[in-house]
Each structure stands twice: as structure tokens, then as C-alpha cells.
Amino acid sequence: MAACVAACVAAAGVALALAGCTGSDARDAASTPGPPTSPAPTATDGDAPADEPATGALDELGRFDEVNRAVIAADAAAGGRAFLDALAAAGFDRSAMQVTSDTTTLGEPADSIQFSVRIGDRCLIGQYGPASDGYRSAERPGLGSGGCLVGATVDTGG
């Protein structure tokens, strides 16, 4: 009987040791970010020569972020209208903006809001709120519908 107990304990110890070794490596590999995988920009027909500054949405992302971070610094509870007003004051086209509602359909505060500015066929998109862990932004292709955000948006006043 003692030999059986000892064999079971030894087998359990080996199983735990093996599981511990393989589990952590797989978990670490999945959660450790690797180097950026964005392809290097390449020139195509119609692109501006490398010595001329490009003028598109990606070029405006820094200014977009600067304006939005200033809104948050002034009012950590800022809603969609505050972002739109600040972006318009900074020279972004209000008629090219979209914003999601500050409240849910049940009248509760939204976990986060999204707001965007379309520039040509590209979009600058910002997201702010507790569900997004603060402020996030991205430059993405515009939608075929002419907008940037999927789903219901509210009037931008533009």
C-alpha cells in the first residue's frame, strides 16, 4: 500500500512539473509583444515623392491626439460634444465628424465613446472611457458609406 501511495505522489509531481514548464512558455509567448509587423511604406503610382510632405489623415493623427488629450486634461469626464468642439476649434471639419452617444439606450453612462474625423478616404478615430482604459486612437480606412464609425451615431451639429 505504501508503495502505491509513493508511486501516485511521484506521478502527480512529474505531471505538475511538466505542466508548469509547458504552460508558462506558451502563455509568455502569447502575451509578449513582438516587434512591429507593419510593412515598410512603398511608393505607388500617384504617391507624392519622398521629399514632399504627405498631406493625409495619418499626418493629422498627432494633432488629433494632442487636441483630444487636452480635452481630457481639462475634464476627465468629457463627453463626445467636448471632443467635437475642440477638434472643430483646432480646424478639423465638423461636417466630417461622427460621435457615438454618451449614454446607453437605458440612459446609463456609456463605458466609452468613439469619435472620428474623415479626411479623404481615411479616418482618424478616437475612443475614450473606462472600458477603453483611457484614450486610444487610430488611423483607418473610411467606410464605403462615407463615414468612419459603424453603428448608431449622434448629430454632430455640422
- Summarised one tens digit per residue, pLDDT across range 74-120 is 999 999 999 999 999 999 999 999 999 999 999 999 999 999 999 99
Q: State pLDDT tens for residues 4-44.
A: 444 443 444 433 333 343 343 333 333 333 333 333 333 33
What local confidence, expressed as pLDDT, does residue 86 receive?
Answer: 98
Residue 31 covered by a domain: no
Nearest to 98 by CA among 48, 34, 158, 22: 158
Provide the whole-model pTM: 0.64
Residue 98 covered by a domain: yes
* pLDDT above 70 as % of the chain: 65
Distance CA 97, CA 120 (A): 12
Q: Are 99 and 153 in contact (CB under 8 A)?
A: yes
Residue 45 covered by a domain: no
Residue 66 covered by a domain: yes
pLDDT at 147 over 90: yes
Overall domain count for the chain: 1
Residue 118 covered by a domain: yes
DSSP labels, 39-73: PPP---TTPPPTTSPP-SHHHHHHHHHHHHHHHHH
Residue 126 covered by a domain: yes
Structural domain for 87, as ranges: 57-141
Residue 110 covered by a domain: yes
Residue 62 covered by a domain: yes
